[in-house]
Amino acid sequence: MLSAMLGEAWRAMGANRLRTFLTMLGMIIGVGAVVLMLAVGQGAQYAVSQSINTMGSNLFIVLAGPPSSGGVRSASGGGATLTRADGDAIAELPGIDVVAPVHSGSAQVVYGPNNWNTSVFGTTPDYLEARSWTVAEGDAFTDSDVRAATRVALIGKTAASNLFGSESPVGKTLRIKQTPFVVLGVLASKGQSLDGRDQDDTIIVPITSAQRKLFGTPFPGAVRMLMIKASSAEAMPSTEKAMVALLRQRHRLREGADNDFMLRNLTAIADSAAETTRIMSLLLGAIASVSLLVGGIGIMNIMLVSVTERTREIGIRLAIGARERDVLLQFLLEAIIISLAGCFIGLFVGIGGALLVNALTDTAVIISGSAGLIAFAVAAGIGIFFGLYPAKKAAALDPIEALRYQ
Amino acid sequence: MSDTVIRVEALCKSYDTAAGPFPVLKEVDLAIAAGEFVAVMGPSGSGKSTFMNILGCLDRASSGRYLLDGRDVATLDRDALAALRGRTIGFVFQGFNLLPRMSLEDNVALPLVYAGVERDERRRRARELLAKVGLETYAASLPNRISGGQQQRVAIARALVNRPRLILADEPTGNLDSHTSEEIMALFTALNDEGITVVLVTHEPDIAQFASRQVRFLDGRIVHDGPTVHTPATEPAPC
Ligand SMILES: Nc1ncnc2c1ncn2[C@@H]1O[C@H](COP(=O)(O)OP(=O)(O)OP(=O)(O)O)[C@@H](O)[C@H]1O
Ligand SMILES: [Mg+2]
């Protein structure tokens, strides 16, 4: 019975190939759009969550200099008012895990014939702890390296491969701004940061070495940035207030005077970035769903036309013993087949589109099986939902009225 | 005569028109026994088709009773009526009413699909019926490839495929020439000889001669009902 019905549905669809295809096209575009948008949205969410995971948790940064002047943000770290002593004082506050002073800049690095411009971070071992950054090969430098301003370095994966190729950098000597540094270790890979920079394209050296040998300081102990890790997410708001108060007091800022530093809750920024991406991917999915809905309405439209066109045929079928449910099933099957076939093709179109987007723009895409399954279920649902009304209309026809229809 | 297949009592049918109800059948009484071959005659517009559609359970009477095999069809639901149309009655139309996109074999087999018969059995029966009407070689053709007379034979094969006990035919030869008409009538005669009750509408006295009983409608009433009086000129000719 069902096989005969499938055969008939096939025949009916084949009788009007162009129309069947165009109806299907609505579903193909709808499902394709949903699959593509889900893939792009999930890819973006994944990329953001990866960046957040590699950033480290419960982080603040304090930058030297006022947050903005006259609406224009001055170059961060320009007004050199932040000192390592500020960092030490913050470390004494309750709810603070570690404080790492950072003095960074970009520098030309040379190893043998290789030349590479990368960002060099002068900091303390606490920085690695704050960022939960591990050393993949070799060892990290220690606090005594910082005290003695030894010329040692940790190198990120990208910088390492550009300077050393496949060689192991550990124990080699490279030159940063002409100054020789011995590579102690290679940092574990962290990938992209939230703002899209490659976090592995970096070199980390003791802050004292960076200040004395590489970038210099306006006055002893000045730093451009403090990286601060709070002990828990709950402690962050109160810690933030305490830090602002402490810094204002230490910098002798009067009541009402602007801060001469800028404090940022990195974790909150990351959370809002994640939220933004989530909303964006929801929005993309919603827009794509509209095209799926339009595809469904297209099916309903064509099925209604088909029922009208085939009224006489329905009459003949009723006259030779078709029951209401036979006619219902016949038209429903047609709608479901069109919908499912459209969905199937749309799935491939969507996946192909996602791979294309990935290949052309380097955007992360995630094609999940669950998204495909959902698309399939939705398409079958759409076929049934939008096919049911025309099918019911067909099934409810009166035999003699249908037979008289010209 | 033995058991009654069709019993119609005070049957009325009026159509709803813009000018109010329009009576077409007025208090029709008729009984047809199993195995009879009845020709329904009458002028155009006298209500013959309306009557046949009601007998075929395609339409419902406005009032009065129609008992098919002793059962009042007014009490049956849509599914039960579908079963009657599919199994008990074989309806043959003036315009053949084959499905144009289906092969002749599939057309003939279609009532079996709705009767839930298995595929192999459907094929076998459809072929058997096509052979019976002499068209087995056209099994795979589409309806528009064959002549009107052949199409009507296929339609008769389709009406027969579920082994109905009653064949209703509304001007089955109306679109056919006289020679082809006689072939079709020979087919009905053969079916009647097998014991199938046949009721057919015709305008032509020659065609009516094949029946054993003639009923004449006039203006929605039966005005004549009696056995066929054979005239020498219209002896049934062998096919
Ligand atoms: N659906 C309808 N609505 C309104 N009036 C109808 C309808 N069908 C038939 N009639 C009218 O009912 C009357 C009987 O029609 P019917 O088709 O039964 O006649 P008939 O005897 O079969 O005629 P013919 O020999 O021409 O086929 C006609 O006057 C016709 O106009
Ligand atoms: Mg008629």
Residue A343, SS3?
Answer: helix
**What residues of B are in contact with residue A317 (Cβ under 8 Å)?**
99, 110, 114
The shortest C-alpha distance from A324 to chain B (Å) reads 7
Residue A354 Cα, ligand 1 centroid: separation in angstroms?
A: 63
What ipTM, to 2 d.p.?
A: 0.93
Q: What is the pLDDT of residue B2?
A: 54
| A313-324 mean pLDDT | 95
- Confidence band, pLDDT 50/70/90 cuts, at residue A80: low
pLDDT at A142 exceeding the cut of 90: yes
Q: Which of A5, A320, A325 should we substitute to test contact with B (largest number of B Cβ atoms within 10 Å)?
A: A320
Q: What is the pLDDT of residues B73-97, one digit of tens each?
A: 999 999 999 999 999 999 999 999 9
At A217, the pLDDT band (50, 70, 90 cuts) reads: confident
Distance, in angstroms, between B152 CA and closest chain A CA?
14
- Enumerate the residues of chain B whose CB falls inside 8 A of the CB of residue A403: 58, 93, 97
Name the burial class of residue A2, with classes exposed (0-12), middle (13-18) and buried (19+) by CB atoms within 10 angstroms of its CB. Answer: exposed
What pLDDT score was predicted for residue A227? 93
Q: Does A326 touch chain B (CB under 8 A)?
A: yes
Average of per-residue pLDDT across A356-368 = 87
Is residue B228 within 8 Å of B235, Cβ to Cβ? no
What is the B46 CA–ligand 1 centroid distance (Å)?
Answer: 7
Which value, to the nearest 10 degrees, does the dihedral of the CA atoms of residues B89, B94, B97, B100 take?
150
Judged by CB atoms closer than 8 Å, whether chains meet at A399 and B85 is answered as yes
Minimum CA–CA partner of B85 in chain A: A321
Choose between A69 and A304: higher pLDDT. Answer: A304
Flag whether residue A15 sits within 8 Å of chain B, measured between CB atoms: yes
CA distance A194 to A48: 6
- Round to whole Å and give the CA distance between A300 and A296: 6
Please state, rounded to an integer, the average pLDDT across all residues of chain B: 92
The bound ligand whose nearest atom lies closest to the alpha carbon of B217 is: 1
Which of B13, B15, B204 to probe ligand 1 with, by most ligand atoms within 8 A of CB?
B15
Which residue of B85, B93, B119 is in closest CB contact with A321? B85
Report the DSSP beta bridge partners of residue B92. B169
Q: Whose CA is nearest to atom 22 of ligand 1?
A: B49
If pLDDT is split at 50, 70 and 90, which confidence band does A364 have?
A: confident
Residue B184, C-beta contacts closer than 8 angstroms, at least 6 positions apart: B149, B152, B153, B156, B172, B173, B176
Of residues A5 and A63, which shows the higher confidence score?
A63
Q: How far is CA B24 from CA B30, B62, B103, in A?
A: 16, 10, 38
Q: Cβ separation of A319 and B97 shorter than 8 Å? A: yes
B193 or A215, greater pLDDT: B193
Closest of A20, A335, A9 to residue B113, by C-alpha: A9
**Whose CA is closest to atom 10 on ligand 1?**
B15
Min Cα–Cα distance to chain B from A394, Å: 14
Q: Does A371 touch chain B (CB under 8 A)?
A: no
Contact A28, A353 (CB under 8 A): no
Q: How far apart are CA B8 and CA B68, in angstroms?
A: 9
Please state the rounded mean pLDDT for residues A154-162: 93
A400 touches chain B (CB under 8 A): yes
pLDDT band per the 50, 70, 90 thresholds, residue A77: very low
Taking 90 as the threshold, does the pLDDT of residue A235 lie above it? no
For residue B112, give the amino acid letter. L
Question: In 3-state terms, what secondary structure has residue A286?
Answer: helix
Closest-CA residue of B relative to A314 is: B99
* Interacting residues of A362 by C-beta distance below 8 A, sequence separation 6+: none
* pLDDT higher than threshold 60 for residue B160: yes
Answer yes or no: do B58 and A400 touch at CB < 8 A: yes
Residues of B in contact with A4 (CB under 8 A): 113, 119, 122
A120, A227 Cβ separation under 8 angstroms:
no
* Mean pLDDT of the region B157-180: 92
- Which whole number is the average pLDDT over B207-226? 95
The alpha carbon of B208 and the centre of ligand 1 are apart by a number of angstroms equal to 21
Question: Which residues of chain B neighbour A326 with C-beta distances below 8 Å?
Answer: 114
User: Residue B36 in 3-state DSSP?
Assistant: coil
B28 C-alpha to ligand 1 centroid (Å): 16
Confidence of residue B62 (pLDDT cuts 50, 70, 90): very high
What is the arithmetic mean of pLDDT over B108-137? 93
CATH architecture of B4-227: 3-Layer(aba) Sandwich (3.40)
A12 touches chain B (CB under 8 A): yes
pLDDT of the residue at B13: 96
Write out the H or E segment, with its range, that includes residue A242. helix A236-250
Using the atom order of ligand 1, give the atom closest to the CA of residue A404: 1
Order of strands, sheet of B71-72, starting from the edge strand that comes earlier in the sequence: B20-33, B4-17, B63-68, B71-72
Q: Which residue has the higher pLDDT, A375 or A296?
A: A296
Q: Does A317 touch chain B (CB under 8 A)?
A: yes
A195 vs A223, which has greater pLDDT?
A223
Residue of B nearest to A330 (CA): B114
pTM listed for this prediction: 0.77
Residue B235: the pLDDT is 52
State pLDDT tens for residues A86-124: 999 999 999 899 999 998 889 999 998 999 999 999 999
pLDDT value, residue A72: 46
Q: Would you say residue B1 has pLDDT above 60? A: no
**Structure token digits, residue A159:** 């910088």
**CA of residue B15 to ligand 1 center, whole Å:** 9
pLDDT for the residue numbered A273: 86
Mean pLDDT value across residues B35-62: 95
- With cut-offs at 50, 70 and 90, classify the pLDDT of residue A79: very low
**pLDDT at residue A71 greater than cutoff 80:** no
Tokens of A405: 């229809």
pLDDT the model gives residue A25: 93
Nearest CA to ligand 1 atom 7: B15
The answer on pLDDT for A76 being more than 50 is no
pLDDT at position B238 is: 52
Residues comprising chain A, all counted: 406
Residue of B nearest to A318 (CA): B82
Is the pLDDT at A75 greater than 70? The verdict is no
Overall average pLDDT of the A231-257 stretch? 89
Q: What is the DSSP letter of A358?
A: H
- 8 Å CB contact of B111 and A320: yes
Q: Are B82 and A403 a contacting pair at CB < 8 A? A: no
Give which of B187, B171, B191, B207 is closest to B51, Cα–Cα: B171
CB-CB neighbors (< 8 A) of B97 in chain A: 316, 319, 403
Segment 330-349 of chain A within 8 Å of chain B by CB: none
- Closest-CA distance of chain B to residue A310, Å: 10
How much distance in Å is there from the Cα of B43 to the middle of ligand 2?
9
Is A11's Cβ below 8 Å from some Cβ in B?
yes
A316 interfaces chain B, CB cutoff of 8 Å: yes
Chain A: closest CA distance from residue B113 (Å)? 6
Whether residue A338 is predicted with pLDDT greater than 50 in this model: the reply is yes
- Answer whether residue A368 shows pLDDT above 90: no
CB A3 to CB B119 under 8 A?
A: yes
